[in-house]
């Protein structure tokens, strides 16, 4: 029951992404191409999502706990460091090259499109590469201490 509900929540997201144009690299890249073939549509995706999430979260987070779990598990860190800035900048470069972000690509896997498969495989490789690099640097720091 909980898993079916979770599946349906994923489905709402997947339909939203499909409608929005976030899984269309041509549209995504045009949003950023202000100097060329600019298409401002994605501002409406972001605006609509933020509108619902901003007011929805206010209502939901007033409750003592979520429906299926004992506690809310939201990120609490407020640290703005080089890792956050550098990682986000690197993500931006990759998004600008490929035109897919993770949330746009994952639902699009359902279309069987080859470019989506290629991007997602590279995305997964990149995640493991970064985790490996982070673990290696943590080991070096532990050894130096």
Partner 1 sequence: METEFTPLVSLAGGLLIGLASVLLMAARGRVFGATGILAGFLSPSSSTDWAWRAALLAGMVTGPLVYLAFAGDFPAIEVPVSKAMMIVGGLIVGVGVTYGSGCTSGHGVCGMARLSPRSIVATLTFMLFTGITVYVVRHVLGM
Q: What is the DSSP letter of 73?
A: -
Interatomic CA distance for residues 134 and 143, integer angstroms = 14
Is 89 a binding residue for partner 1 by CB under 8 A? The answer is yes
- Smallest distance, partner 1 to C-beta of residue 48, A: 3
Is 138 a binding residue for partner 1 by CB under 8 A? The answer is no
For residue 124, CA distances in Å to 1, 50, 105 come to: 29, 27, 12
Is 136 a binding residue for partner 1 by CB under 8 A? The answer is no
CA atoms within 13 Å, Cβ hemisphere of 144: 6
Is 97 a binding residue for partner 1 by CB under 8 A? The answer is yes
- Smallest distance, partner 1 to C-beta of residue 58, A: 9
Is 62 a binding residue for partner 1 by CB under 8 A? The answer is no
């Amino acid at each position: 029951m909980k898993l079916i509900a979770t599946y349906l929540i994923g489905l709402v997201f997947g339909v939203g992404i499909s409608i929005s144009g976030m899984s269309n690299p041509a549209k995504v890249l045009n949003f950023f191409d202000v100097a060329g073939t600019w298409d401002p549509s994605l501002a409406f995706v972001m605006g609509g999502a933020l509108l619902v999430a901003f007011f929805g979260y206010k209502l939901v987070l007033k409750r003592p706990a979520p429906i299926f779990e004992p506690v809310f598990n939201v990120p609490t860190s407020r640290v703005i460091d080089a890792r956050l800035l550098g990682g986000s900048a690197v993500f931006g470069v990759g998004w600008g090259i490929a035109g897919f972000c993770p949330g746009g690509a994952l639902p699009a896997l359902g279309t069987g499109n080859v470019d989506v498969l290629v991007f997602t495989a590279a995305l997964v490789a990149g995640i493991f590469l970064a985790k490996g690099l982070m673990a290696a640097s943590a080991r070096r720091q532990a050894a130096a201490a």
